[in-house]
Amino acid sequence: MKKRLVMIAALIILLPALGMSNAISVRLGYYIPSFKGGPDSLWTIEFDQMNFKKANYQSSILGFAYEQFFSREISFLFSLDTYNRSRTGLYKDYVGYTIDNQDYAFPFEFYAGDFDITHAFNVSITPIQASVKVMPFGRRGTIVPYVGGGVGLYLWSVKMLGYLVDFQDAWIYEDPDLGDVDIYTVQPVELREQNRLSFGTHFFGGIMIPVANKLAIEAEIKFNM
């Protein structure tokens, strides 16, 4: 499950003074997954079949960073962020009926159903990134623009808990009015993919606004590829 994330409007509180040779930051930001990965990706399958909205998986993040300044214009940045989002959704096109102690998914187009078919989908990502940050006009001023990029290691996990329509187990329901109707079994699901690793690159740009001797605010956009 390849990760492509966008971080916007990140607020960073610098603990040491900006003039010092290094800084430790507490980062509060916002992640927007790009929801890509091809037709077989979990993102694509979940958004096609379930009533999840992309906004359901946009979330604030908390992170930490260490920044080492090499000059007025260039610094090295090591950062660790956390992203975790879980939502419960239902199948958009199917409803459930129980026949002979077995649950089946019937098309919502023709049936009201006795119950909704739901499961929770959880995504957790921990990006660990090393970056070079460039401040073309130096780090002194009212507004300090910067750009940068680097490489990252992404530790991620995916969990699914609830009920799943098994499209590999198809049955025919003989409806007295509609004739033969395709239905599918509904199975309990508890799937976990944990501690997976992927590598990627990232690019970012933003502005830093010093507000005190030891305090600054940053607004940043970051693209993780």
- Residue 117 is predicted with a pLDDT of 98
Closest CA to 169 of 99, 121, 103: 103
Of the candidates 44, 46, 40, the one whose C-alpha atom is nearest the C-alpha of residue 120 is 46
CA angle 70/74/78 to nearest 5° reads 80
7: helix, strand or coil: strand
What are the residue ranges in the chain where pLDDT is below 70? 1-21, 34, 36-37, 213-215
Give pLDDT, residue 46.
94
For residue 15, the model assigns a pLDDT of 46
- Cα distance between residue 38 and residue 44, in whole Å: 7
> At residue 80, what is the residue type?
L
Q: What local confidence, expressed as pLDDT, does residue 75 receive?
A: 92
Q: For position 118, what pLDDT does the model report?
A: 98
What is the rounded CA–CA span in Å between residue 77 and residue 65?
7
DSSP letter at 35?
A: -
- CA distance between the termini of the chain: 12
CB 86 within 8 A of CB 120: yes
Q: How many CA atoms lie within 13 A of 158 on its CB side?
A: 15
Looking at residue 85, its pLDDT comes to 93
Task: Provide the token pair at 190.
Answer: 């508890």
Whose CA is closest to 80, among 67, 93, 91? 67
Cβ(138)–Cβ(73) below 8 Å: yes
